[in-house]
Structure 1
Amino acid sequence: MAVPPRKPLTGLVAATFTPMTAKGDVNLSVIGQYVDYLVEKQGVYSIFVNGTTGEGMSLSVDERKVLAEEWCRQGKGKMDHVIVHVGCLSLRESQELARHAAGIRADGISVISPSFFKPPSTSALLQFLQEVASAAPHVPFYYYHLPDVTGVKISAQAVLQGAQELIPSFQGLKFSSRDLLDFGQCVHSSPRSWQILYGVDEQLLSGLVMGAHGAVGSTYNYMGSVVNGMLAAFEKGDLAQARKIQFQMQEVLSFAFQLGFDLAVNKQLMLVLSGLPLGPPRLPLLQGSQERAKQIRDKLERTLGLLTPNCCAMGV
């Protein structure tokens, strides 16, 4: 049975950070403020939770459940979409999280490929995805393609071709790869009802030109208002303005990568820019460098004109 039509998942989707206490416990008390910040300050109305940016693979199943519940509760009436990543190394745990997401009325679920015992073929990966999707058959299902992290080199296009027949709830793809050939073929060969979302922030304009319906990324947590300007320019056909904004983003991110921009520094940067008490990442990641985050913040302000009114209050 196909999933009933819902509002299309388009535009910007923030891949959210998971708030932690200083001791490394999940901090649910921040999530309401976080949702308001995205809506009011960034103009971002969809979120992707418990994914890579959210350190989902470092969280227990119980932690992922309570986080998903709180994101859905706080997002109700404010967010257009709360997509819950339910991928695990264990099929049974992925199914458990999928059923839970259905029970809390998440707007969609997403699954990354297992990355320890890797699927040896497209067929094996599709069987895994099918089994997870079958645990929540009425919830829109999105495949999360992240080959540089998972080490699974199966093309996204091959997965999509098989998914159309095997997974009735399949609704699209989060494509986090720089392979624009594969991405273009995904857009070209997909049904119009699917949403193909691009996941490399510094190349988003390329994804839009290839036909992306939207984007999922960590930088949209704090650069959403700027990137929304690029989307608006692109939709108007003002390619010069869209390029200008993309090049500015690339300048900032290139600078950040030279400083060792990883998830820990990214989370620290979000704290500096938003003032939200997000805490440290969980081991084995180490606390992000505050000095690097401040350098990137300064570059953001010089290049994109972003202001950080909360920085003084946070002592940074």
Structure 2
Amino acid sequence: MAVDMKKLTGLVAATFTPLTVDGEINLSVIEPYIDYLTNKQGVTKVFVNGTTGEGCSLTVDERKRLAAEWCLKGKGKLEQVIVHVGCMCIKDSQELAQHAASIGADGIAVISPSFFKPTNAEALRMFLKEVGASAPNLPLYYYHIPSMTGVSLEVADVLQGIEKMIPSFKGVKYSGIDLRDLGQCVSYSQSHNWSVLYGVDEQLLGALVVGVHGAVGSTYNYIGCIVNQMLSAFDTGNTTQARDLQFKSMEFITYARSLGFDVAVNKQVMSVLSGLALGPPRLPLLPCSASKSQDIAQKIKSIFFKN
């Protein structure tokens, strides 16, 4: 049975993976990265080796080393470290899950395989079950991101009866745009005390109305302090302030998209805003021009940090 751990709620930063100019992982950046998140952004929970972290472009060994460093340097500073362990190969996912348990991670998340895809909800539940069994004392979260995996099974269907198959199951990171399916997930989760966290940053307010318990996103690395204000405004019933802050997030992301806003560009924007040397992306992602990242960073400053 899963250990009874603190429920995952609030803001979670989907972290970037620091690389050297030669394309090797750069563990020396992790500690100042943690300090930046906690001291400058007020973000104390992280989601490591996910989409933002280029997890599926990293080797199993690299993912282990990164996860271990986040857990080690995060002790006493971070509240929760969730490690994404999803892979195309179930054996690799199981190995990463076992490793996450051994380093003191606070939970694991798993995407669906996307080359050979599960054909129905039962197949996906079976995959999650086998991964979860490798770390039975860690909370397990299903990471739904159909835009990347091409797996568009309704998550509400995947959740049906999953608690009987996977005692360690604790919720969903929902990075899709179907608010009806999302609402059904929230509804089903209520009797199990699971966490449903939303992963589309520019639509977070709509998900909060539906009842999600928090959010996991890349932009929370550098505007986490602003989004925390939005969460606080929503929680206190100040819908006008919450809406205004969401509109500002939409404005910046719309502008960034007009320039081609992918993980590589986002990573460089984070470097500009934070001063952290996060390095280039890994192929097939291509680095962006300095002018593009500077333009987006300046737009963010003009929208959120005028004073």
TM-score range, shorter chain: over 0.9
Instruction: Report the equivalent of 1:314.
Output: none
- Supply the RMSD in Å over aligned alpha carbons: 1.0
Aligned to 2:274: 274
> What letter matches 1:232 in structure 2?
S
Q: 1:39-78 counterparts in 2 under 5 A?
A: 39-78=38-77
Aligned residues: 306
Retained in 2: the 8 A contact 1:111–1:144?
yes
Q: What is the letter of the counterpart of residue 279 of structure 2?
A: G
What is the TM-score when the length of structure 1 is the normalising length?
Answer: 0.95
TM-score (norm 2): 0.98
CA distance in structure 2 between the partners assigned to 1:289 and 1:156 by the alignment? 38
2:209 and 2:77 map into 1 onto residues whose CA distance is 29
Post-superposition offset of 1:306: 6.4
Separation in 2, partners of 1:248, 1:78: 29
1:117-144 CA distance string (max 9 Å, x none):
1111111111110000000000000000
Q: 1:32 aligns to what?
A: 31
Q: Report the residue type matching 2:299 in the other structure.
A: K
Amino acid at match of 1:174: K
Aligned residue in 1 for 2:293: 293
C-alpha displacement of 1:4: 2.6
2:280 match: secondary structure:
coil
1:305 aligns with 2:305: yes
Q: 1:140 and 1:228, CA in 2 relative to 1: closer, same or farther beyond 3 A?
A: same
The separation in 2 between residues aligned to 1:8 and 1:125, in whole angstroms, is 24
Task: Structure 2 unaligned segments of length 5 or more: list them.
Answer: none
Query: Following TM superposition, by how much is the alpha carbon of 1:266 offset from its aligned partner in structure 2, in angstroms?
Result: 0.2
> What's 1:156 paired with?
155
The one-letter code sitting in structure 1 at the alignment partner of 2:105 is A
CA shift digits 1:277-303 (9 cap, x unpaired): 000000111112221111111111111
Matched, 1:260 2:248: no
1:113–1:125 contact (8 Å) kept in structure 2: yes
Structure 1's consecutive aligned runs of 4 or more residues displaced over 2 angstroms after TM superposition are: none
Deviation for aligned residue 1:162: 3.3
* 1:72-151 correspondence runs (5 A): 72-151=71-150
Give the secondary-structure state (helix, strand or coil) at the position aligned to 2:152: coil
1:242 is matched with 242
Q: Quick one: which amino acid aligns to residue 104 of structure 1?
A: I
Task: Output one character per residue of 1:141-178: Cα deviation in whole Å (capped at 9) or x when no partner.
Answer: 00000011100111111111132211100001000011
Amino acid at match of 2:249: M
Matched residue of 1:109: which SS? Answer: strand
Q: Which residue pairs with 1:311 in the alignment?
A: none
Q: Percent identity?
A: 60
Q: Give the partner amino acid of 1:288.
A: C
Paired with 1:193 and 1:177, the residues of 2 have a C-alpha distance of: 21
Write the distance in 1 (CA, Å) between the matches of 2:218 and 2:162: 27
Contact residue 49 and residue 68 of structure 1 kept, 8 A: yes
Letter in 2 for 1:197: L
SS of equivalent to 2:105:
coil
Amino acid at match of 1:66: R
Instruction: Provide the residue aligned with 1:173 in structure 2.
Output: 172
**Alpha-carbon distance in structure 2 between the residues aligned to 1:54 and 1:208:** 25
State the one-letter code of the partner of 2:167.
P
- C-alpha change, 1:13 and 1:188, in structure 2 (3 Å) is same
CA distance in 1, matches of 2:97, 2:201: 27
Cα deviation per residue 1:213-248 (whole Å; 9 max; x = unaligned)?
A: 000000000000000000000010000000000001
Residue 119 of structure 1 aligns to which amino acid in structure 2? P
Shift of 1:192: 4.5
User: Structure 1 stretch 290-299 or stretch 74-83: which is displaced more?
Assistant: 290-299
Q: How does 1:205-220 map to 2 (within 5 A)?
A: 205-220=205-220
